[in-house]
Amino acid sequence: MGAASQLLAPLVDTIREHVLAGSKIHADDTPVPVLAPGNGKTKTGRLWTYVRDDRPAGEATPPAVWFAYSEDRKGEHPRRHLKNFKGALQADAYSGFHHLYGDGAIYEVACWAHTRRKFHDIHAVHASAITTEALARIGALYAIEEEIRGKPAELRRSIRQGRAKPLADELHNWMEKALGSLSTKSETAGAIRYALSHSTPRTKTCPWGPRHWRALTRYLDNGQLEIDNNAAERALRAVAIGRKNYLFMGADSGGQRAAALYSLIGTAKLNGLDPAFYLQTVLATIAEHPINRIEELLPWKIAAALLKNSSQAA
């Protein structure tokens, strides 16, 4: 696989450049077991995913996903990955991302799915009037998103301002009031504080800081943004499936090769291609393909060529 990885490297680099050229990307990470050298035991590496997908905002720019591997979860890794990116970073409240927002070149967009999940998990074990109300109110925000998915960004912004923003303001006020009726130690109070970042300084126990509500509601002001980070979570499903089918990666170099393959497989799927067909097509031609025309082997280019050939044949 080493020789193939070298051949595929320029293609993966081109996908990375395409992803980071966007004005908004989704980011997430997941652990992977990696064989530690010398002792026969495994350590925990990380696969980071960065997704560009503007289709929900009605844009035709090809979607793509770039994976990167690191030997640990230190914040220096996303800082290195995103050193040339400028725009909106949609992610969870992982503290390793927070240093990216300092100079304003990258700004934070939080994830309502994470917020909803906290209430849902509590509700599944011990339903209450507050968790029921929270889920219903968040569900109303999602119902609006269902209606406007795929619509132009400016229309999405207008509808969000007219319909979703008042609901979000009401939700904020309701959460503030509900928080006052709960024990500070209750899980439900913790879920509310996570959403509101209730004037809590950023600490190890509250890493999201006081600006989390602003990050949660930033999508209301920009039709290109999404309500959640599900695009990144979907990209990581392939990794979750992979972990069920192998014991570990053989070394850090194996993690890097896996990241390259996940980039190609994930981008092929986003563009409607069968990943096995795509990899077979690329591997059969890339050795003789001119490096200055590597873009011709990108998944969306091959998908477009297949569509054109199909139309001509019909």
The answer to whether position 242 is within a domain reads yes
Could you tell me if 242 and 255 lie in one domain?
yes
- CA 101: distance to chain centroid? 17
The confidence score (pLDDT) of residue 209 equals 47
What does the radius of gyration of the chain's CA atoms come to, in whole angstroms?
21
The confidence score (pLDDT) of residue 200 equals 40
Residues 275 and 306: their CA atoms lie apart, in Å, by 14
Cβ(264)–Cβ(19) below 8 Å: no
How far is the first Cα of the chain from the last one, in angstroms, to the nearest whole number? 38
Q: Which of 168, 196, 167, 166 minimizes the C-alpha distance to 180?
A: 196
The answer to whether position 42 is within a domain reads yes
The confidence score (pLDDT) of residue 205 equals 45
Identify the H or E element spanning 69: strand 64-70
Could you tell me if 92 and 20 lie in one domain?
yes
Its domain, for residue 163, covers: 112-203
**What backbone torsions phi and psi does residue 192 show, to the nearest 5 degrees?**
-70, -45
DSSP string for 209-271: -TTHHHHHHGGGG-TTS-SS-HHHHHHTHHHHHHHTT-S-BSSHHHHHHHHHHHHHHHHHHHT
Residues 114 and 194: their CA atoms lie apart, in Å, by 10
The answer to whether position 217 is within a domain reads no
Could you tell me if 178 and 276 lie in one domain?
no
CA–CA distances in Å: residue 186 to residues 8, 40, 119, 179, 200: 51, 43, 12, 10, 17
Residues 308 and 85: their CA atoms lie apart, in Å, by 33
The answer to whether position 209 is within a domain reads no
Q: Which of 24, 22, 17, 18 minimizes the C-alpha distance to 224?
A: 24
pLDDT tens digits for the chain (314 residues)? Answer: 556 678 899 999 999 999 999 999 999 999 998 988 777 788 899 999 999 999 999 999 999 999 999 999 999 999 999 999 999 999 987 878 888 988 889 999 999 999 999 999 999 999 999 999 999 999 999 999 999 999 999 999 999 999 999 999 999 999 999 999 999 899 999 999 999 974 444 444 444 444 789 999 999 999 999 999 999 999 999 888 877 777 778 888 989 999 999 999 999 999 999 999 999 999 999 999 999 999 999 999 999 988 877 656 65
Neighbours of 3 (CB within 10 A): 8
The tally of domains found in the chain comes to 2
The confidence score (pLDDT) of residue 207 equals 46
Could you tell me if 128 and 257 lie in one domain?
no
Neighbours of 128 (CB within 10 A): 14
pTM of the shown model: 0.91
The answer to whether position 220 is within a domain reads no
